[in-house]
Amino acid sequence: MIYDISPIIKKDIAVFPGDKEFTRKINLDFKNNDNLLLSEITSTLHLGSHADAPNHYNINGISIERVNLTNYIGKCQVIEVFKEPYQRIYPKDIQEYEILEKRILFKTNSFINPYKWNNDFNSLSPELIEYLSKYNVVLIGIDTPSIDPYDSKLLESHNMVYNKNISVLEGITLIEVPIGIYYLIAIPLSIKDGDASPVRAILLKNINLLYN
């Protein structure tokens, strides 16, 4: 079974208020008797399901084409957490789970509609990231636009993933994904000096699919 955990990119996909919205312009079209369909896009790099690069949140961070791709491929664990709106997730909130994999995806159900912005989504605490680092976690993902709250200026959780050398996936869609162990594939594009990249993130329930 394959779970596609990336929202469809289209003109009304939600982006952070003030960020560049997605647009697609058609330059050639069969409808106009052109010999092919050709289009261009304009957008923030932090679009839909995306990987943040360390240079997005630290002046000394590397850009997206230099990140370790192995962090975005491999076994992962989906954890579901129920919190009040706008709240961060702390280690105490996941005590019922045994950390089994080096890639952890958080299902919060707090940003259900990727085409309608809401400010009160859940996020991660720096304490949680520090806790996960003790299990040698290399990637943390979340089904919201950010691992920090909407109005955070200090970006404590982003700074903590930088300090712990942990990769970040944001904006994934997990509403139909049960908790459990999966194989993640979510490769960022090689964008020179990029601060992020959209990804087509998928989860495989049966790794044997890779060899069929």
Residue pair 39/9 in contact (Cβ under 8 Å)? The answer is no
Q: For residue 62, which of 51, 72, 47, 73 has the smallest C-alpha distance?
A: 51
CB atoms within 10 A of CB 35: 7
Q: For residue 182, which of 205, 207, 209 has the smallest C-alpha distance?
A: 205
* Coil/strand/helix, residue 91: helix
| Residue carrying structure tokens 């300090």 | 163
* Coil/strand/helix, residue 140: strand
Q: For residue 140, which of 205, 79, 189 has the smallest C-alpha distance?
A: 79
Name the H helices within 99-212.
126-133, 156-163
Q: What is the DSSP letter of 37?
A: -
The reply to whether 50 belongs to the active site is: no
Residues marked as catalytic: 56
